[in-house]
Chains A and B, each alone.
Chain A
Amino acid sequence: MKICFTLGLGFLSSFLISVYGQNKELIESIKKGKDIYQDFCITCHMGNGEGLTGSFPPLAKSDYLINNRAKSIKAIKYGLQGEIIVNGKTYNSIMANLGLADDEIADIMNYITNSWGNKNDDIVTEKEVSEIKK
């Protein structure tokens, strides 16, 4: 009984530590991501992630971003060209390869997936970005 209790407490605390730890990491990453967003992304995707209908797809409540985690990372990492459908609207333009480092891409992903009504607790890490190939 005592062992069960100790074990249970152990699991609980390690669970709490990992959730809290990730949360802290996520909050840090979102903060950094916001700065990078203002440097590299805001001119097209705009201040509230609203984009510009017909030219630049929205990030705010974007079904593409929410449902295509790997593709979204790939787009930031290598650029994107050709037709995509976002929230029912077709976009056919080009986003340049931005020359960002993997950790910066992770930060931007964490920022844009947790802003303007978007929510994503599952942190994007530098390692995850590094594993996305062209």
Chain B
Amino acid sequence: MKKLMIIPLITIALSACAQQTESSVKAEDPQNISYTTELVVPDMSIPWGMDFLPDGSMLITEKSGELVHFKNGIKTNISGVPEVYNRGQGGLLDIKLHPDYENNGWIYMTYASSEGEGTGGNTALMRTKLSGNSLTNQEVLYKAAPNTTKGQHFGSRIAFDNDGYLYFSAGERGEHFVNPQDLTRDNGKIYRLYDDGRIPEDNPFVNEPNAKKAIYSYGHRNPQGLIKNPETGAIWEHEHGPQGGDEINIIQKGKNYGWPVISYGIDYDNSIITELTSKEGMEQPLFYWVPSIAPSGLAMVTSNKYPDWKGNLLVGSLKFAYLERLVLENNKVVKRIKLFEGLGRVRNVVQAPDGYIYVGVEGKGIYKIIPN
């Protein structure tokens, strides 16, 4: 009899655990929006990353492995792009100009690469220069290992801070119990390097035996948003959770962001990955999304073109096909607004040097947000 009672109790206990705590702030429809979108670069497939050259023209990566230079209304394919491992979520990913591009000409790209031992691929970081319509001086600065044929979680975004360090992300490659918490392994990490690929002497794990010395923070799942907060200079990140549990984090040296030991999400088949949402020694997110929006691309608005949005975060939603605007007060999200619902799978959002915000949408192209 006692045994029989236990089964329903276990069932109740399990279903209680499966109840996720929804985000503290819900996404709202916009009241009156004084901006509209204009498609400025049409006919793109998956415009993963973009950055702007000093002449205002655009470099746009296509996941399939093309680098497009868009200038005066004309698209030119750039040659010399590294061979990419275009499988699942892998392909040509982010692109970022060096903060001192005008003087040194360096361009940085992350991509899924089959280089190295083993079949499959993993995330790589390259720097290169643009000469005419070709890339030259290609240098692979980092290649995560080992390769795997799994389709998930390559990351990746690139950011520079005010002190000249470069940060980039690599997701955990579908091995959440293996990679994110192990400092001797790549994946599920944010890395910090000098701009030439050398490992900074004061990186947090340089003295840890067998650790990957480029690791700056760990316990990440799949970060596809990484920027320097233009107001504070800190590195801000967002990452995909499983079902629920997408996060915004401020990246700090040597910190553990918890995946998969703590998470606000559950697995896709509703099974529990972890019952813990917090643990000592692990960072709490600045904000978490339940349900997931599937965030890709992150920008903070500082430009005078959008006075209503100043200081807000913009995040692309792959899942709900809109751009989310998050209002912050003292590093807390206090309001979420759905912008341009139905725009399409938003892959990327960037505030350009001209002050305008550009949005990369899958199957469409690059949109510019303009005041009405």
Which A residues contact B (CB, under 8 angstroms)? 38-40, 42-44, 46-48, 52, 55, 81, 93-94, 96-100
B320 within 8 A of A: yes
Distance A100 CA – B345 CA, assembled complex (angstroms): 22
Which B residues contact A (CB, under 8 angstroms)? 45-46, 63-64, 85-88, 90, 150-152, 174, 243, 267-270, 294, 319-321, 344-345, 362-363
Given contacts A39-B88, A40-B88, A55-B321, contact A98 B345 (CB under 8 A): no
Chain B neighbourhood of A94, CB < 8 A: 45-46, 344-345, 362-363
Q: Which of B268, B319, B362 contacts A42 (CB 8 A)?
A: B268
Can you give 17 A-B contacts (C-beta < 8 A)?
Answer: A39-B174, A40-B88, A42-B268, A47-B268, A47-B270, A48-B269, A93-B321, A93-B345, A94-B344, A96-B45, A96-B362, A97-B64, A97-B86, A99-B85, A99-B86, A99-B90, A100-B87
- Is the beta-carbon distance between B319 and A55 smaller than 8 angstroms? yes
Chain B neighbourhood of A40, CB < 8 A: 88, 151-152
Shortest distance from the beta carbon of B118 to any chain A beta carbon, whole Å: 17
Distance A81 CA – B319 CA, assembled complex (angstroms): 16
Distance A55 CA – B343 CA, assembled complex (angstroms): 11
Distance A24 CA – B86 CA, assembled complex (angstroms): 32
With contacts defined as CB atoms under 8 Å apart, how many contacts are there between chain A and chain B in the complex? Answer: 54
Chain B neighbourhood of A46, CB < 8 A: 268
15 more A-B contacts (CB under 8 A) besides A38-B268, A99-B85? A40-B151, A40-B152, A42-B268, A42-B269, A47-B267, A47-B268, A47-B270, A55-B319, A55-B320, A94-B45, A94-B46, A94-B362, A96-B45, A96-B63, A99-B90
Chain B neighbourhood of A48, CB < 8 A: 269
In the complex, the 3 A-B pairs of residues with the closest C-beta atoms, listed nearest first: A99-B87, A94-B363, A47-B269
